[in-house]
Structure 1
């Protein structure tokens, strides 16, 4: 390919040459820094050697931590140096206990500084917390989850012991029904027609089994004729009740909530 004769191209090529030269220089500096870090092993006084490696670790982040670790301890792993250095302070306090947050590595320091500038990383609203507080938060969550699970199991036992018609009068049933219908619209991307024949006629929400009532009901949306057929075939659980029926007001509310969530336009 012939090279065009113009000043603009020459400027681009000169910049590219400078870029390559800079990359080569950076590579050489990296090699030099690695050798200098490992040369710390030549310091005979252990305390001075560790102090020099520690200072370089925090104030010369461009120098590889493994090289500093090898120069200070003879082991090429940052954790070997981290254990000997001990924590440092960067002026950031734990947002839970308000104590100084001890920093033990470059990785942790970056995470803490990023966390201070970012949004809450914990559901409790904390951005940065110390290790003991983190463990305490997780322990508190575990206690809360266990209590929620106990209450959920207790509620399921109560619901399972109810007559079917009484269950269909509970808030648990209404939540399960509404969640099922919302998911049905999301999956089918259409209105709430019978799942067997698609009819928009008189419909109801029925149980296929009575396991896990109030915590994952196994439901199906059927028109009246299809419900009669499946009921006769023994494929529906629980005797048909008024509470199974899908009221127009309920359908309108579920559809409106779906349309609002996905910013759908008005329906015909």
Structure 2
């Protein structure tokens, strides 16, 4: 299914409980270490720790990262579809794509997107929370509008911007992935991820899409089931996910002191597989 794809390592630099100087420093170090993708997330408040702690907005952060980095791909894991008009989001993504391009080359943006779930964001910023099904229907409706707007913008995006969809719903989310995404990102252990891959493959078969066109991505657990609770082995966690088809492996990093040790381990693991 994905054996021909290279292993890639991602780091989600969570924009919480840290100054922007801390965040920018972490991104610079991650690029030097050799990660393939740096992600942020799209929330307005911390997801854990002090709920009113320091926090920064997603897309202005991505624009700054696009200027400050040279090689890595960039994106949100994931943008909330509810927070921005799809036509505006398309223009924002196109602009960040151009900011990230170097010497006439292609841009480095990945449009990571999902239907949204963090109710406090909605309540505090005045968005209608609605229902999970309604938010997924909106995502299904808006993705074609985003792609259509990309075709109208002047200048156009520098490349066909990859679309990453996060979420594991089997009736709606994975159908939308099969129809509209280039990357699927999921959560869970190898058995869960393997099952989701099988469901996604079924959706691809129904619509006649080659399953190999969709890169499989997942968050890496530090504690595979076979290890005791006091042992953290990110490479072992990645190896278990690799065995079921995952090729993009991402670790979440929390401020203010971003621990890059797991990323160094995963980059070394990636490079050892390539030898």
TM range (shorter): under 0.3
Structure number having the greater helix percentage: 1
TM-score normalised over the length of structure 2: 0.20
Larger radius of gyration: 1
Compare the two structures and name the one with the higher strand fraction: 2
